[in-house]
Amino acid sequence: DNLRKKHKGDLRALEHNYARQLKYQETGLNDLTIGEYIENRDRYKNMKRKGTGTAQNYFRDKFKFKLFQSLNRAYSSKLSYAEAEKLALQRATEIMGNLHALHDPDMGAGGYDNVTRLGDKRVNESIGPQWAKAPVGSKKGDKTRVELMDEQVEKAFKE
């Protein structure tokens, strides 16, 4: 709901992106073994995001280059080479400004430091921090979503 208030515009598209990112988070979590989850969570607790930018930058740069090429080809049929290149770079930069590198699930929720795709940054900025919050309706001091998952994983690991 906060996301809707902060971002006016096409709510249907925003909700679609939100649902899609959540689905990928869920699938990513379900694909992890208990051992992988524990290992990834321990790594994240120790390192946080230190040293994780390289993979994200590489993925973003590669995507931006492909996007630029595609836009440049499209613009070249109507504009001069220099104009097409300038407009393609401008548009690619604008588009990339609205995208974040995504991990499925987020690293803070047991995911690997593998960028799987790019997605709407507004949605990613909404979903990511929610792992560190208690679920809606919780009391002050209740466990966060990720703490609840950690607890369930530990329980399953001991069984």
Residue range 86-132, pLDDT digits in tens: 999 999 999 999 999 999 999 999 999 889 899 999 999 999 899 99
Between the two ends of the chain, the Cα-to-Cα distance in Å is 38
The pLDDT, as a whole number, for residue 52 is: 66
Residue range 9-59, pLDDT digits in tens: 778 888 999 999 999 999 999 999 999 999 999 988 888 766 667 888 999
CA 43 to the chain's CA centroid = 18
**Which neighbouring-strand residues pair with 117?**
102
Q: Among 20, 48, 37, 32, which residue's Cα sits nearest to residue 127?
A: 20
Residue range 131-156, pLDDT digits in tens: 999 998 999 999 999 999 999 999 99
Domain that holds residue 86: 2-158
Residue range 66-78, pLDDT digits in tens: 999 999 999 999 9
The number of folded domains in the chain is 1
Q: Where are the beta strands (DSSP E) in 3-128?
A: 99-102, 117-120
The residue ranking higher by pLDDT, 3 or 12, is: 12
- Is the CA virtual torsion 127, 60, 23, 7 positive or negative? positive
| The pLDDT of residue 80 is above 90 | yes
The pLDDT, as a whole number, for residue 55 is: 82
Structure tokens at 16: 């679609």
